[in-house]
């Protein structure tokens, strides 16, 4: 039997695991402290915030209180992560409590500043800890800006029949590299523009025919 089908299946499995990797939770879990979150991946626009609900289950045999700390050492400084309750008190055996982790993203953040942070939940009497990982991503933003600083004003006077050159300022205020289409006085014909781009691309390619 050829090894090619086996290799193909293995390659598909590798791609599948790679696509699921952001959902993986490399946690150091102690059997007496069970952790879960309502979302393992937070995606935010710059300047926004979100809450992650952390569930702590006491899988031990006595009433416990837990210290909640955040390890964001590998995360960009554009992120601020805080536990709403540094201490979660009086969790009965086999019971659980929810607490909130606050995730904030600064303005000006870019997608390359995505990453992850760890939530540490420790029972101080026995000094046992469970850890769960949450991934955070910066959503791309698109914001073309037009200014008239160079001209000094958006209003210009022209004599009849006069030709004038206007210098305007175009700024990409988004967080990713972008292509901006500039139009004057009417809506751009995007369909024709894309058709022209396609025709130009086809014309630059290698041709073939029957002969």
Flag whether 119 is in a domain.
yes
Q: Which structural domain range is residue 69 located in?
A: 24-138
Taking Cα atoms as reference points, which of 26, 28, 31, 93 lies closest to residue 58? Answer: 93
More confident residue, 201 or 32: 32
Q: Please give the residue that has the higher pLDDT: either 6 or 88.
A: 88
- Residue 62 contacts by C-beta under 8 Å, 6 or more apart in sequence? 93
- Same domain as 110, residue 161: no
Q: For the chain, how are helix, strand and coil distributed in percent, rounded to 5?
A: 20, 35, 45
Determine what percent of the chain is predicted with pLDDT higher than 70: 79
State the pLDDT at residue 202. Answer: 67
In a domain, 15, yes or no: no
200 pLDDT more than 80: no
pLDDT band of 203, cuts 50, 70, 90: low
Among 10-24, 28-42, 53-67, 104-118, the least confident range: 10-24
pLDDT exceeds cutoff 90 at 160:
no
| Domain containing residue 28: CATH number | 2.60.40.10
Question: Do residues 35 and 109 both lie within one domain?
Answer: yes
Is 130 in the same domain as 166?
no
Classify residue 55 by burial, with Cβ atoms within 10 Å: 0-12, 13-18, 19+. Answer: middle
**166 occurs within a structural domain:** yes
pLDDT at 211: 45
For residues 35 and 130, what is the distance between their CA atoms, to the nearest angstrom?
7
3-class SS string, 170-191 = EEECCCCCCCCCCCCCCCCCHH
In a domain, 8, yes or no: no
pLDDT at residue 9, as a whole number: 44
Our count of domains for the chain comes to 2
Do 131 and 116 lie in one domain? The reply is yes
Residue that finishes a domain, picked among 105, 138, 171:
138
Same domain, residue pair 131 and 36: yes
Give the phi and the psi of residue 200 in degrees, each rounded to 5: -65, -40
Mean pLDDT of the residues in the chain: 82
Residue linked to tokens 């050829």: 2
Pair 111, 138: CB distance under 8 Å: yes
> Is the pLDDT assigned to residue 100 strictly greater than 60?
yes
pLDDT at 157 over 90: no
Q: Are residues 134 and 153 in the same domain?
A: no
- Considering the domain architecture, whether residues 69 and 85 belong to the same structural domain is answered as yes
Bigger pLDDT: 200 vs 84: 84
Note the pTM of the prediction, 2 decimals.
0.66
Per-residue pLDDT tens over the stretch 122-136: 999 999 999 999 999
Instruction: Please check whether residues 157 and 104 belong to one and the same domain.
Output: no
Domain for residue 73, yes or no? yes
Q: Is residue 201 assigned to a domain?
A: no
204 inside domain: no
């Amino acid at each position: 039997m050829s090894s090619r089908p086996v290799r193909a299946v293995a390659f598909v499995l590798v791609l599948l695991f790679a696509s699921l990797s952001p959902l993986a939770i490399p946690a150091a879990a102690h059997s007496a402290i069970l952790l879960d979150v309502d979302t393992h991946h937070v995606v935010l626009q710059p300047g926004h915030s979100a809450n992650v609900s952390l569930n702590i289950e006491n899988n031990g045999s006595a009433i416990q209180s837990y210290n909640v700390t955040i390890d964001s050492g590998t995360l960009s400084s554009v992120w601020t992560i805080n536990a709403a309750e540094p201490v979660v008190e009086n969790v009965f055996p086999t019971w659980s409590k929810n607490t909130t982790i606050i995730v904030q993203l600064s303005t000006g953040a870019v997608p390359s500043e995505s990453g992850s942070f760890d939530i540490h939940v420790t029972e101080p009497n026995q000094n046992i800890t469970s850890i769960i990982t949450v991934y955070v991503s910066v959503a791309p933003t698109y914001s073309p800006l037009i200014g008239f600083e160079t001209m000094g004003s958006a209003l210009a006077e022209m004599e009849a029949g006069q030709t004038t050159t206007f210098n305007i300022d175009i700024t990409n205020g988004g967080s990713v590299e972008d292509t901006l289409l500039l139009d004057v006085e009417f809506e751009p014909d995007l369909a024709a523009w894309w058709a022209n781009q396609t025709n130009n691309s086809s014309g630059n390619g290698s041709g073939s025919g029957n002969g």
